[in-house]
Structure 1
Amino acid sequence: YIAVADGRYHPNENVFLEEVARIFGVQSRDFVNMRARFVPDENPDPYCVLGVDPTADAETVRQAWRALVREYHPDRMIARGVPEEAMKLAEKRLIQANWAYEEILNTHR
């Protein structure tokens, strides 16, 4: 959030955050996925969104997508008593998971 607080994501901020990620042992794919969540107009890797390897078969991809749908589904969030702000974040995450699943399906057709 801090890197885009001024409404821009400067290349130097990216260099700094990549170094911080390296120091903390964050994998490159995970960093790209986190950056895509918070930086406007940054396209996420659909495989990172679903948490699967690009070589994963269709069933593995489907299972990962279904797990995210179960985790972030609004009805389940309400049943857990999740605050409204967390509901909004979960909704964004669910939309992103659905997008990623469709992207992967479309590339395999």
Structure 2
Amino acid sequence: MAKFIGAFLGYLMGGPLFALLGFGVGMMFDRGLKQAMGFNYGAQRERIQGIVFETVFRVMGHVAKADGRVCESEVAQAEAIIAQFGLVGARREEAISRFKEGIADSFELEPQISDFMLVAKSQPLLRQMLLEALLTMALADGDVDAAERDILLKVAGYIGISARDFQRLLDMAMAQRQFHGRGAGGQQSSASRGNELKAAYQAIGVTEAATDAELKRAYRKLMSQHHPDKLIAKGVPEDMLKLATEKAQEIQAAYELIKNSRKK
């Protein structure tokens, strides 16, 4: 801010040359102020990414143990999610370690979410990303059972998402899952086209009565929420962006199906 003020005052005092000098002085002032106040934006983002990462995988473990035990299929689901995120090497081992911490009897959900909310309270995208990751885990077997739903509802409440909004996100996630791996140009079977079209509208979060403008607005909002640059800026770890990318592909496929159906 000081560099722009310096440039403005310099221009008033002596024209373009003084504006340039004022900009340089202001830049040095900004840099000195950041150092004096201990600002380290890189370290802060790294801290946020660490908290998001550990929260996602610890709570995933807690969700997997929702019914009181962790079966082989749930472990396989966790492995599949880790692979879906593209985690390898030390990062994969860290994810497994955090997942096991969430399984432990000593794990407490509320303190973990409280730590998460310290960095995500004013960041709705981070909160939505957490819930989407947990829904991906819960839906890995095709459905969310009652015990998993109770925990997910509790998490939603802790992060400021109402039961109604949670249900909407769950419905959208279940619908979007039907377009997983299809891609925008994927083929749909004629026999199930009606059901797929209904799921496509649900995946975008609109009804069949939505106008083209309303449809496009809802689609663009979802795509913006899953844009990698925006998520990185908010503190989502880069090695977790694959989930957002796949989610965007599902949304794109659903949108293309609706658009093609409306052309006929």
TM-score (ref. length: structure 2): 0.30
Following superposition of structure 1 onto structure 2, how do residues 33-72 of structure 1 map, counting pairs within 5 Å? 33-34=173-174, 37=177, 45-72=199-226
CA RMSD across the alignment: 3.9
Runs of 4+ in structure 1 deviating by more than 6 angstroms, as ranges, are none
Q: Do structure 1's residue 92 and structure 2's residue 220 form an aligned pair?
A: no
Separation of aligned partners in 1, 2:209 and 2:227: 27
Give SS of 1:53's match. coil
Change in CA separation of 1:85 and 1:48 when aligned onto 2, cut-off 3 Å: farther
Consecutive unaligned residues of structure 1, counting only runs of 5 or more, are 7-12
Q: Do structure 1's residue 79 and structure 2's residue 233 form an aligned pair?
A: yes
CA offset at residue 51 of structure 1?
0.6
Change in CA separation of 1:51 and 1:35 when aligned onto 2, cut-off 3 Å: closer
Consecutive unaligned residues of structure 2, counting only runs of 5 or more, are 1-63, 65-72, 78-140, 151-163, 182-187, 189-195
Separation of aligned partners in 1, 2:175 and 2:219: 20
Q: Which structure would you say has the larger RCO, counting Cα contacts within 8 Å and 6 or more residues apart?
A: 1
Out of 30, 34, 39, the position equivalent to 2:171 is 30
Tell me which structure has the larger Cα radius of gyration.
2
Separation of aligned partners in 1, 2:234 and 2:144: 35
Query: What do residues 43-93 of structure 1 show as CA deviations (whole Å, max 9, x unaligned)?
Result: 861111111112211111100000011100111112112023531111111
Identify the structure with the greater helix proportion: 2
Change in CA separation of 1:19 and 1:83 when aligned onto 2, cut-off 3 Å: closer
TM-score (ref. length: structure 1): 0.64
Equivalent residue number for residue 10 of structure 1: none
Give SS of 1:108's match. helix
- Asked if 1 retains the 8 angstrom alpha-carbon contact of 2:175 and 2:200, the reply is no
Change in CA separation of 1:75 and 1:54 when aligned onto 2, cut-off 3 Å: same
- What is the percent sequence identity of the aligned residues? 30
Separation of aligned partners in 2, 1:35 and 1:64: 15
